[in-house]
Chain A
């Protein structure tokens, strides 16, 4: 374990209401600083809850979460967060929204960054927020977030309402931010393909628990897609998923020893890996050494 963790969670759980179900339970992971991390999982898996906990918007019901080496509430200045529905004050203009950002932040606020992000989207500073499209709102919300010059940027489904072109632009903006300032970016999505190219770290959440956590390369390298004749015994390798079609068995394994050379092996794609874990809730969770909390 080296350096400060951007986010570190231990036995983290959040339940809404006294009798409500657990949105998140027994979450333990460590996200090293400087990564671009994808938080992936199906709808209702607990991604938004996790990000809101990290942003200091919710108090954990049990366990603890630390952000940039401190409690989330103490890291507000250094953390930016963009919620899923990009809430903004509809009655304000774009320029007023940015002025509000300047008023609510410390001297870390960089007005020129905010203006550049807004100007790149051809937004009229005098337009009211309520007249903007979803994509334009995302841009304003992102301008507010980036002008904070955050060390940690939390984005909840940032690309959901963007067209492919805007998505590409926005991703470029974020990657430039990460490259230039070493900002740790955490973004959630239920579309894996959306994040595959830009992220180097993965946090897979399913049923309120962490299923996979680690560097994407390491996770992919730790798994093998195998084709073998049916009835082949796959032991002692832990099996994530196996399927038999006719005389053919195909499985996703986490090889613990060198594999049988008779088997056809291939590297799984990130999407395959994620889907295999989500389809098989009983497959044991895996964390690469660096991320074990």
Chain B
């Protein structure tokens, strides 16, 4: 059966028309931040070498762009919570859409799918450029942040994209639940915040750490990266807290370490090679929560409006 003879509804076009201002806003945001990231990764990095003013300028703009990338999920959650479903239920236009020829489920699909694609593309671009700008700074300027700096770590990876999608879905779900624009706006903004907080706290434990044991001659434990736990090892292999004395070349420290029966430093940490396993695990967790919220939104809609009829063969 050909579908050409029966042109099907095109809810995507209606969604685009309804949310044109938001689409333009998102496009402008992505373009501006991308432009700034190109600047930070390009000329600002290249010049941030000797001149303290230029180094400061690099640091400032690096911070601004990192904040902008991290703000994206919250902007999306605010928009989604305020307008995507809540306002439509508040003023009855959702019912208008549902009494055209598309089912409520199809309406929600269109409302989520198209923004989800644009959000993935836009935030993916932001994250990609942020990562590029960060990697350009490595070895070129000492002002560049380390990979495990909290803001840099988040803005460099795919978790932000997943958080942005969670903001979108949270807004839609809370809009259906509360049917009130302000309530769902406030609630939706909390979701990426909570998820980000939870994922950030959990990050060190999302992948097995590497342990290095280093000599007490050093001032601190060896091993560079995201440290999870560090301290001293005793002769029996027990782990004790590092009093922070420093190298045992110093006499008082050596006495202290002898008294503690400490023989070496240990450091459980994530080296840079763990960056993507950590990021992708966190992304998967956020996406799983997002998927659960999506299912909840469709279930809620179905419970309210009754079962959707099975589509006929023409739908293929």
Q: Which residues of A are in contact with B by a Cβ distance under 8 Å?
A: 52, 55-60, 70-74, 76-77, 79-81, 83, 85, 87-92, 96, 99-101, 103-108, 141, 144, 148
Contact = CB atoms under 8 A, between A and B. Distances in A.
5 contacts: A81-B99, A87-B91, A88-B93, A89-B18, A104-B9
Nearest to A84: B92
A74 B6 CA distance: 17
A106 B99 contact: no
Contacts of B308: 73
Contacts of A57: 95, 98-99, 305
B307 interface: yes
A148 B93 contact: no
B8 A60 contact: no
Contact of B93 (A59, A60, A89): A89
A144 B102 CA distance: 14
Top 7 nearest A-B pairs (CB, nearest first) are A87-B92, A74-B309, A59-B306, A104-B100, A81-B99, A105-B101, A77-B101
Contacts of B141: none
A104 B102 contact: yes
Contacts of A73: 103, 305-309
A56 B305 contact: yes
Given A87-B93, A103-B17, 6 more contacts: A55-B99, A56-B99, A81-B99, A89-B18, A103-B14, A106-B101
Nearest to A73: B309
B13 interface: yes
B14 A100 contact: yes
A101 B305 contact: no
A96 B17 contact: yes
A185 B247 CA distance: 91
B97 interface: yes
A76 B99 contact: yes
A60 B100 CA distance: 20
A76 B101 contact: yes
Given A80-B99, A88-B96, A99-B17, A107 B305 contact: no
B306 A72 contact: yes
B17 A92 contact: yes
Contacts of A85: 92
A58 B99 contact: no
Nearest to A65: B306
Nearest to A90: B91
Nearest to B90: A87
A107 B8 CA distance: 7
A72 B9 CA distance: 18
Contact of A148 (B13, B98, B100, B103): B100
Nearest to B12: A103
B17 A58 contact: no
A116 B306 CA distance: 34
A69 to B, nearest CB: 12
B254 to A, nearest CB: 72
A106 B13 CA distance: 14
Contact of A106 (B7, B93, B305): B7
Contacts of B14: 100, 103-104
Nearest to A52: B95
Interface string B176-214: 000000000000000000000000000000000000000
B11 interface: yes
Contacts of B91: 87, 90
A106 B8 CA distance: 5
B259 interface: no
Contacts of A107: 6-7
A72 B309 CA distance: 9
A57 B103 CA distance: 9
A283 B17 CA distance: 53
A70 B306 CA distance: 13
A88 B17 CA distance: 14
Given A58-B304, A59-B305, A73-B308, A108 B101 contact: yes
Nearest to B16: A103
Interface string B289-307: 0000000000000011111
